[in-house]
Amino acid sequence: MPTVDLATSELRSLNQALHQISDGTNETHWDITNPRGAHAVAVGVNAPVDISIQGSVGYYCAGMNRQAKITVHGSVGPGVAENMMSGEVIVKGDASQYAGATGKGGLLVIEGNASSRCGISMKGIDIVVRGNIGHMSAFMAQAGNLVVCGDAGDALGDSIYEARLFVRGSVKSLGADCVEKEMRPEHLELLTQLLERAGVANLKAQDFKRYGSARKLYNFNIDHADAYG
């Protein structure tokens, strides 16, 4: 198992080595020590490898991830797993702003709390937050699932498209065009699967509420002009 100590190795060299991983490699487990809040750790990985980061990191960790399973044993700065395509990113601590932004696929699990704009403009990613999320989360969320085991802040799902939002706790306020929706059997099944994948199978899908688009902002309507501001 390759071990890279960022106290003595350059971050650029680490990311370059991760980008050069080829199919069939036997170096499938990587251990990264002493990240010391470094930015852009393990970005652009495109290989089915298991990467363990021993400590907290700065912004854009695991951005553009494909195939890899990346576990951060600490907290992360803004933009973790931004534009992720596939694979898994697991944060053992808290996440700063816009976690999972524009993510197109894969699973992001935040075991602590997430700050504002979690899942902004998500395009197919699955995000599970064990704690709470901040304001303006799932803003313009287009596709995918955001699961919040705690509470949600102001303006949840503002200008949302077809993403599904599941919240177990309270929602401070809903954003423009976001409404509570019926939790049908297919949603209970989907949510149960997501909770199991995220390691929180002890929670019951029946305890969550579902939120989504009222579909009133898809086309301009003069009667709703105030909502476009």
pLDDT tens track for 134-179: 999 999 999 999 999 999 999 999 999 999 999 999 999 999 999 9
Q: Is 36 exposed, middle or buried (0-12, 13-18, 19+ CB in 10 A)?
A: exposed
Number of structural domains (the chain) is: 1
| Any domain includes 48 | yes
pLDDT score for 225: 59
CA atoms within 13 A on the CB side of 156: 26
Cα separation of 208 and 167, whole Å?
A: 5
* Closest of 195, 73, 95 to residue 81, by C-alpha: 95
| Any domain includes 223 | no
pLDDT score for 229: 53
pLDDT score for 27: 85
pLDDT score for 227: 61
Torsion angle in degrees (nearest 10) through CA of 200, 137, 171, 76: 50
| Any domain includes 225 | no
Provide the residue range defining the domain that includes 9.
3-218
Cα separation of 85 and 92, whole Å?
A: 21
| Any domain includes 226 | no
pLDDT score for 220: 56
| Any domain includes 120 | yes
| Any domain includes 227 | no
pLDDT score for 140: 96
pLDDT score for 103: 98
Q: What's the CATH code of the domain at 186?
A: 2.160.20.60
| Any domain includes 83 | yes
Task: Provide the token pair at 5.
Answer: 């100590």
- The ranges of the chain with pLDDT < 70 are 218-229
pLDDT score for 224: 60
Q: What is the DSSP string of 139-183?
A: TT--EEEEEESS-B-TTBTTT--S-EEEESS-BS-B-TTEEEE--
Task: Assess contact for 124 and 102: CB atoms under 8 A.
Answer: no
* Closest of 165, 47, 151 to residue 100, by C-alpha: 165
| Any domain includes 228 | no
